[in-house]
Chain A
Amino acid sequence: MDNKELQKANARLVWRIVAIAVLMFGLGFAIAPYYDAVCSYFGISGRVNEASSEQTMQVDASREISVEFVSVVNGQMPLKFRAETSKLKVNPGQYYTVNYYAENTSDKKLVGRAVPSISPAWLSAFLKKAECFCFSEQEFEPHKERKMPVRFVIDPAVQADAKEMTLSYTFFDITEKSQTIKN
């Protein structure tokens, strides 16, 4: 190969490799939405975010699953957050309502978002919520307590060896964020 040809060949190869690098950079970002999709497709995200309309199901009274309710506040958020009961035995197919309470202990208005998590994760697909405070942002006036109901059912299709599950909510402080968005 003479020099001109070699330089042309080099340049071609360089641009091909650069294209791969750029593609991989983009792929990293593309994976972000895809990641959520894969996790929910396999039912491993441990979250249920959408409301499912209340439908009547065959109640299976022969089985009892014990559901634990956990409440967590992330970081320094000045919120007293608790569930009215820590544990409930439920029959698959039956709807239940459990109330969570949160009190703003500061002098300022707070905006929070509760992120649910279900463990073990593979049971998350069977827990259906008709109503939940986790579907939207929650506002808390200073020094006020609010009652926030969760209405849910466990699908009777749940596997027979499911005996226990935990539903946990973590409250994140998004006061600043929601203000910057509004302004």
Chain B
Amino acid sequence: MSVATHDDAHAHDHHDHGPAKGFMRWVTTTNHKDIGTLYLITGLIMFFVGGAMALVIRAELFEPGLQYVDPHFFNQMTTLHALIMVFGAVMPAFAGLANWMIPMMIGAPDMALPRMNNWSFWLLPFSFVMLASTLFMDGGAAAAGWTLYPPLVLQTGNALPFTVFTVHMLGMSSIMAAINIIVTVFNMRAPGMTMMKLPLFVWTWVITAFLLIAVMPVFAGAVTMLLTDKFFGTSFFNAAGGGDPVLYQHLFWFFGHPEVYILILPSFGIISSIIPTFSRKPLFGYASMVYATSAIGFLSFIVWAHHQYTVGMPIAGELYFTYATMLIAVPTGVKVFNWLATMWKGAMTFETPMLFAIAFVVLFTMGGFTGLMMSISPADLQYHDTYFIVAHFHYVLVPGAVFALFAAAYYWLPKWTGHMYDERLGQLHFWLTTISVNICFFPQHFVGLAGMPRRIPDYAVQFAEFNAMSSVGAFVFGFSQLIFAYVIYKAIQGGEKATSEVWEGAEAHGLEWHLSSPPPYHSWTEAPPKEIISDLH
């Protein structure tokens, strides 16, 4: 970040060095790289905030019994941990990558709507301050889980309206980011950059943006109904007034299931960029990747009630949602096989981004398998609301989405800063993270199958050993991330100069590698030569 500042200050002498101006630069910026940086840093900070909450949870669960926190606070931690990780860490980090990379990848000078871009970022810090402040309100923060199910969530004290407004603001921010991305990709591509030439990262983000536009408003609507039920006497979810709390669950999961794909599709794009580079081969099955991503995007709208198997549905509904959910495994499988085929007989090297990418393929697939198990409605009666599902979604989200973000950060850090990161520390970060993430989450499959419920501060002694393991893994994982923060800091400060190509042969895989490292403040002020685009693969 500071490198970008210096660079810019030298390049444009109308930028002063004075601190006020230096700060105002970030407040008023409309530059896609500045905004990308802001998003990425916010994501990293919130990753540590959410992580600290996770460690509160794991400390309490280290042993059976109530040790450190009271149950109500424990529930606030599970709720805020999830909301912050989903909306504060992973989504802003992806938005940051989109801002940084999409204009560079499609040969555009900047995003299409730079002012809106500034606004969509600056909504975030305010929403997170508001969300964090609910912890200190009468009655504490929301404690009903990130799903905010009524009637439980309606027992929240003063925090309820603030939590709802946070969701509204985050929703607006995401929708604006999504609009910007769609407009940029549709209208700002360089000549010769056809849709079927777009890097997969761009494709997956376009589909993600459509998912965001379709489902964020539904979530905003559902929480608005919570608000009017609580304060204005409506009965959307209130059985006494003729409403139905199950309606909320349908609305929530109509948003919630596409949301989990919002968290994973950009990761698919990142992995599809990294594996070809380090295998020194073109991506296997580009077109099938595009179609598979679109299929996943479409299917994600019609499987939501697999989160509600135990709530009560007619048999036909249970069957339909079972089959539809299993269907998603098909395009997902296509992607996994394509990544494997890309690596097949490639001249592979194993730098940190590639290590994270390979770990992603293996561990994400394990999460997919447990998903497949849970998609079978009669079997899910056993898994639902146990630690088994906690294991499932952490496998797809941590060694899934978060690993993809690590991989992306290492992959593009030399491009962003102009310096190679410390490879030794990167590898150390990788190994500590990969080992500890499995120690943390793998045992949760076992306690879940044995019946340990989720969102509970205390448990039967039979689960003690696995929980202790899990907590140890979590703490190692948490503290290993300090290495990551340090590696980023170090690369920003200096280090071996990166070439514009950075990775051997990368020029063939994307336009961003044709710009200098670090790239100029405005990316492609002149459209890239057509020959370069037609040579990409």
Contact = CB atoms under 8 A, between A and B. Distances in A.
Given A28-B222, A35-B250, A122-B314, A20 B239 contact: no
A170 B251 CA distance: 24
Prevailing SS type, chain A contact patch: helix
A50 B216 CA distance: 36
18 contacts: A13-B182, A14-B183, A17-B182, A24-B213, A24-B217, A25-B217, A25-B218, A25-B220, A28-B222, A28-B225, A31-B247, A32-B243, A115-B239, A121-B314, A122-B314, A173-B240, A174-B241, A177-B233
B233 A180 contact: yes
Contact of A74 (B215, B240, B244, B251): B240
B141 interface: no
B375 to A, nearest CB: 21
Interface in B234-258: 236, 238-241, 243-244, 247, 250-251
Interface string A68-94: 000000100000000000000000000
A174 B240 CA distance: 7
Given A35-B244, A115-B239, A6 B312 contact: no
A24 B217 CA distance: 6
Given A25-B221, A121-B314, A36 B187 contact: no
A18 interface: yes
Interface in A125-165: none
Given A46-B312, A180-B233, 5 more contacts: A13-B182, A21-B216, A25-B217, A27-B221, A121-B314
Prevailing SS type, chain B contact patch: helix
B217 to A, nearest CB: 4
A28 B171 CA distance: 15
B213 A21 contact: yes
B221 A29 contact: yes
Interface of B: 112-113, 175, 178-179, 182-183, 186-188, 213-218, 220-222, 225, 233, 236, 238-241, 243-244, 247, 250-251, 312-314, 317
Nearest to A9: B187
Contacts of B244: 35-36, 39
A44 interface: yes
Contacts of B217: 21-22, 24-25, 28
Contacts of A39: 244
A173 B113 CA distance: 52
A47 B80 CA distance: 36
Contact of B312 (A31, A121, A170): A121
Contacts of A25: 217-218, 220-221
B172 to A, nearest CB: 9
Nearest to B243: A32
Most buried by B among A9, A22, A28, A42: A28
Most buried by A among B183, B188, B225: B183
Contact of A17 (B188, B213, B251, B314): B213
A101 interface: no
Contacts, number: 87
A10 B187 contact: yes
A46 B233 CA distance: 24
A32 B218 contact: no
A31 B269 CA distance: 34
Given A9-B187, A25-B218, A32 B314 contact: no
B240 A18 contact: no
Nearest to B223: A28
Nearest to B212: A21
Contacts of B221: 25-29
Given A9-B187, A172-B239, A28 B113 contact: no
B187 A6 contact: yes
Contacts of A115: 239-240
Interface size range of chain A in the complex = 35 or more
A36 B236 CA distance: 11
Nearest to A174: B240
A28 B248 CA distance: 10
Contacts of A121: 312, 314
Contacts of A1: 187
A20 B178 CA distance: 12
Contact of B214 (A13, A20, A173): A20
A141 B169 CA distance: 47
A180 B231 CA distance: 12
B159 to A, nearest CB: 21
B26 to A, nearest CB: 25
A170 B213 contact: no
A20 B210 CA distance: 10
Contact of B187 (A13, A18, A27, A181): A13
A28 B251 contact: yes
Contacts of A174: 240-241
Contacts of A181: 233
B292 to A, nearest CB: 24
Contacts of A22: 217
Most buried by B among A17, A113, A180: A17
Q: Which 9 A-B pairs have the closest CB atoms?
A: A28-B221, A172-B240, A25-B217, A24-B217, A28-B218, A44-B314, A115-B239, A17-B179, A13-B183
B180 to A, nearest CB: 9
B113 A14 contact: yes
Contacts of A42: 314
A182 to B, nearest CB: 13
A9 B113 CA distance: 12
Nearest to A177: B233
Contacts of B179: 14, 17-18
Nearest to A42: B314
